[in-house]
Structures are given as structure tokens and as C-alpha cells.
Amino acid sequence: MATVNPYLMFDGKCKEAFDFYKDAFGKDFADINFFGDMPPQEDMPPLSEAQKGMVMHVRLEISAETILFGSDIFPGTPGFKHGDNYAVSLNADSREEATNLFTKLSEGGTVTMPLVDTFWGAYFGMWKDKFGIDWMVNYDDPAKVQAD
């Protein structure tokens, strides 16, 4: 069964916020990646040095059951406003569960990132549901994680 975790989004302040959360919870980042870690994208202009230093994804494991995720919005994303800076993040137990959740929960909504195999090794997608709630689903295939 999928687990549910908060995913917070920032406009350039993710690292600062998560350093604060890390200190408050007495934990260290389980993972942190920056936009500068992405391979070049064919349909995207090069990122500035400031944009390269923005957080693409951070994971702070607060307990065995609770993970706080975060990122800065992708540089140049239009329409970001405070109040839109969170999403419900689902971690699926299988690729099939991720597909099923994505298909059912995005029905009548707007897909913002199709469910795809990503360069970081996850099967991942994002959408805004028909009620205006932002969602993400992620499946980390153990075979791919071990291969890295």
C-alpha cells in the first residue's frame, strides 16, 4: 500500500528551509539533488549558476513512517504562488500501483508531468486533481536502486 508524505515547494528558498527543518528535527538529509545535477535537456535553455544551485529534490526522513520532501519550483515555471507550494506525495510499492494511482487520481484533472521513467531512476508523475490538489506518485524499483 502506498505511503503518503508532504512535499513542500519553494521559490528559491528550499535549501534554507530544509536546513531549518533538519536542525529542528535533528535529522540529516537522506538525499538532496540540485537542478545543476540534471543532464542537459534538449528543449530547455541552459540554467544559470543560481538556478543550478536550486534544490530539485530533497528528502528528510523524520521517522520510519514520515518523510518530508521538498524542492524549489523549476526555474521559469509560470504561475507559482504561495498556497500552491505543497503536494501530496505517494510512494508506491510497485510500478503497477503507481500507474493505478496516477490513472485514477488524475482523472478529470490536469497532468503536469506524465508518469515516466526518470533519469534519477524512479517511475514518477505529477498532476493537479479535479479539486485543485497537487499530487505526485513515485516508485523506486529496487533493481534500479541496486544497479546504481
Strand pairing of 3-10 and 122-128? unpaired
Q: How far apart are CA 101 and CA 88, in angstroms?
A: 12
68, with CB counted inside 10 A (0-12, 13-18, 19+), is buried
**Cα dihedral 37, 39, 44, 46 sign:** positive
What is the pLDDT tens value at each position of the chain, 148 positions in all? 778 889 988 888 899 999 989 998 899 999 999 999 988 878 878 888 998 999 999 999 988 888 999 999 876 677 777 666 788 888 898 999 999 999 998 999 999 999 999 888 899 999 988 878 889 999 998 877 655 4
Helix boundaries (H) for the chain: 14-25, 49-52, 95-106, 142-147
The domains found in the chain, sorted by start residue, are 1-91 (3.10.180.10), 94-148 (3.30.720)
pTM: 0.70
To which residue does cell 526555474 refer?
75
Q: How far apart are CA 104 and CA 107, in angstroms?
A: 6
